[in-house]
Amino acid sequence: MTSTDAGPWSLPPRNGGIHDRGMDDTHRFTDEPDQDLPGTPADPAVDHQRGDRGVEPMRLTPLLPRRQSPWLLVDVDGSPAAHGALVWALREAARREATVVAVWVVDDEGDDALPGVSRPGRRAGAVALERLEAQVLRAIAETGVSGRVRTAVLERPVFEALTSATRGADLVVVSGRGKTLLRPAVPRQPARRLARGA
């Protein structure tokens, strides 16, 4: 029996395992691109003519934390009550990973907290800052919490604008980046629990 009449169940010829490169080129479709063949590198010029564009990396905006760390503003005036408030703020800052801003408020006229230093004097801010830092160091030594406090000397109008928000007034912070309205948080009403069987 020859190979022509062997039928569909005949064995392949001896050279059946040899790959004929010419047959692939002959039976390949005419509209099949060369770069789609395995082992054939893509040509950038061909991609440009076909209008193909490369994949550009996607730029993702950095995710911001849902809630930033809180700030604790403490009015320090040298009184025992102010010292207790500063001690509590330092401990609360350590618990909540917050930042304490200890401020000494300087009045416009007749500041009795700094005797002997008038308002127009240049040393008024320096003396107030020295006394403020002394109070802060005392509170740090008592609580052992360090690295979470900042000090500042504020004028009375600035301090009144900040504390007015705690008394129900609206505080609008205006800058070159826009406007932000600050309002006191409204406490949530406790959820009512229905009695069993109601």
Q: 70-74: long-range contacts at Cβ-Cβ below 8 A with a sequence spacing of 24 or more?
A: 70/96, 70/98, 70/99, 71/98, 71/99, 71/100, 71/101, 72/98, 72/99, 72/100, 72/101, 73/101, 73/103, 73/162, 74/100, 74/101, 74/102, 74/103
Average pLDDT over every residue of 169-196: 75
**142 has a pLDDT exceeding 60:** yes
Domains of the chain with bracketed CATH: 71-170 (3.40.50.620)
Confidence band of 118 (pLDDT split at 50, 70, 90): very low
Quote the tokens at residue 192.
């009512």
Res 130: pLDDT = 94
pLDDT tens by residue, 64-116: 656 778 999 999 999 999 999 999 999 999 999 999 999 999 886 554 555 54
Res 148: pLDDT = 94
Average pLDDT over every residue of 166-184: 85
Q: 50 vs 94, which has greater pLDDT?
A: 94
Res 174: pLDDT = 92
Mean pLDDT for the chain? 75
Confidence band of 120 (pLDDT split at 50, 70, 90): very low
Average pLDDT over every residue of 108-130: 64
Confidence band of 188 (pLDDT split at 50, 70, 90): low
**181 has a pLDDT exceeding 80:** yes
Res 49: pLDDT = 60
CA angle 182, 183, 186 (to 5 degrees): 145
Res 69: pLDDT = 86
Return the minimum-mean-pLDDT range out of 35-44, 82-91, 151-160.
35-44
Greatest mean pLDDT among 16-20, 66-70, 149-153? 149-153
**144 has a pLDDT exceeding 90:** yes
